[in-house]
Structure 1
Amino acid sequence: MVFNYSCIDNHEFISSAADNDGDGVLNSLDEFPDDPCLPVKDGTYTNFNVFNAAWQNADCDGDGVSNGDEFEDKTRNPYVNEDTDTDGDGVPDFLDEAPQNPCVPEQEKGYVGFNSDNDIWGSSDCDDDGISNIDEFINGTDPYKGCNLDFDFSNFEGELQARDSNNGETIIVASLLPSCNEISISGDFLNLGCTNENIEFILFLEPFVEGGNEGNAIIENATFNCTNEAGDTVEYTFNATGFFSGNDGFMEFFGYTLTGDGESITGNLFIEQITDGVGDERDRCGFEGEYSSIVNIDGNESFGNGKLTQNPENCNEYILSGDFLNLGCNNDFELGVFFGEEDGGSEVIIAEKTFTCESDSGTVEYTFKAFGSYSNSEGFIELSQFTLTKTSDGSETTGTIFFEAL
């Protein structure tokens, strides 16, 4: 038997059986025999030649790490870009069951692993509240919390107290249950002496900015029955409008109307978590009213009076009026007062303001500024340092002022 073969034919046979680029596809079958990344492979492919230099030096998943280095790192895959996150949900595509849907997998409220610069994520509405993810991110609200109100109900856990301007009593609010923009409120918070426990009605929260955590608080035509100790039952209707702050954890009604048993009662109501009342931002909105003042200059005391009028659009800002400095002014003048907190303590700030005092002895122009602290539970305000400057000669008077509610 005679066998004939050609060296050229044999050479061609050897060439066709080779794999120049090490991608596991023979040259004879490889449309791109010198490109280890073509044809494209998926993350399950393992038929590459790890010893081939062309394959080692390539970067088939385009993640900036060579195939060889990814092969050595057992946490990576040379055919999977672990950094690709198409929908911006913080879950890389190779782990994401729905890489084009930023709302899958579903995330718990408070999740922050998303990419806010991703257009797919930004245009979606993962909590289905009608506000896009990017708008909630810009507003500072939670795109994974199914409500367009970012009210911090954790500030109301435990017992609450209500201050009723009609009686000054402290009343425990039995429960405060969230339902998006509505709260179910119950308990004898108006201190009517009700013995029944089924008093409950809805309070509506209307944020100033969509998705915001401050705004109007409204109770409209809420009716309830109150049974007193004698067993008599009276039906009441309650209406109120006010202000709420989710972060600071309080609600204040600047005026309410309670109608029942042939009479109508009006007043103010402040609801907050029970605290020690010192240095708590929730306490800063309960200072409207009239005060007596004690002015101390170099140990010498004099007495005046003042009035704080609350800013209806920002409850921790007030206008201070009256002759609280005991200067003998016959005219009214007003100073802006800010109540806040600093390093866990309370602060009161009166920014520098020029005013005119018209007294029996003439007219004098002054500039006033001050700072101090407050305690809502104890009902006082103290300006620990004030500076009063007479414009005409620049003379300064410094001292302290203690305000006590009348």
Structure 2
Amino acid sequence: MKTIFKFIIGVFLLFIGFSCDESNDHLSGISIDTEDFTIEAPLVVKKRDTLGFLKGSSNKGEVTYSLISQTPENSVVLGVRYGEIIVENPEFFNSDITDEVNLVIEVKKQQETKISNVTIRRNLNDPDGDGVESNMDSDPNSPCLPVQDENYTGYNSYNSIWREADCDQDGISNIDELTNGTNPYFDESSIGDIDGDGLKDDVDPDPNDPCLPEKFIGYQGFDPENDIWAAGDCNGNGISNGDEVAAGRSPYPFPNLPCNDIFNFELENYARELRTVDSNNGEGVTIGVIGGNCGTILFTGGSIFNQGCFNDDVRIPFFFEPVDQTSSNGRVFVELTEYSCLAEDRVSSRKFTVEGLGTYAGASRTVELTYIITQLGDDIPDDERVTTGTLIIRPL
């Protein structure tokens, strides 16, 4: 029995030995084929371009590739499966930083590896960077010849000769055009703006309508000297754009938003008793009432300008105009408004008109208005007829 047991153990160990030998033969039987090679880059190289493919195979199926090193660093990345050589930094291939990029690649199958050295040479056949090879270029040293149309994008934006040139002859270098978002092959100044709305005619949906596309309060891109624009009425209030600007007001409407969304503060902050300080007549108290139109506050009571009026039915509309939709500050103006001022005898009265322009601060509920008050009547001496001053309205 012992003899049989020893025989079985011996056979088992012999089997294991054969298995190990077969396994070792399997590993040692892997062969990898690869080589060192050189690639010449295109005239103009762009990010994510594929410049070529790594070379490698084995007798046991697909190999994998690893990038051991590259000079300069971050020039390329490798494709995950097929070994594509993909551009990461085009500047290394398009400028004179270096004439070649060198890669050290590990080609691997299981435990077997080989090294492949890849050289990518910068293409030097386009000295002026216009994207046309020298033997096809009518002037290899002029980046603007041959003349290209406005849709041309085949240039080398890293080439110093091309960057400093001015191919559309508008006084702006090619590279500054790219930086500014304009076309180095087209002079944008040749495009007009017939209606003066600040949009060039090539992108304006209606080049003859100064109010299209619709703009809102805060827009400043218009040309106030343009006759078509000045004659328009972009907020539809019956006052021309030119007259609005001359009066210090925006010619554009509020966007179609709730009033408080437009003003970025609570208009109700002005709907209360507020202190008035007048440069001519001292201090008083007025009451603010929200008007029917968005942004209009009616300041009421005879003490608004502290003129000694004894009637409370004085109502002066102040119109608030924000700098833009994100600001709680802006301009305030009073269009020509007539009001009566009752004398102390409660019988006689005087008539006045007032108009003015100023600023407001929404957070502090403060208004500062520069005004002109004119007293009406044929019997008023000329030197007493017109009064100018400053009115400040602020919380009590």
Give TM class, smaller chain: 0.3 to 0.5
- The structure richer in strand per residue is 1
More helix as a share of residues: 2
TM-score, normalised to structure 1, is: 0.33
Q: TM-score, normalised by structure 2?
A: 0.33
The structure number with the bigger radius of gyration is 2
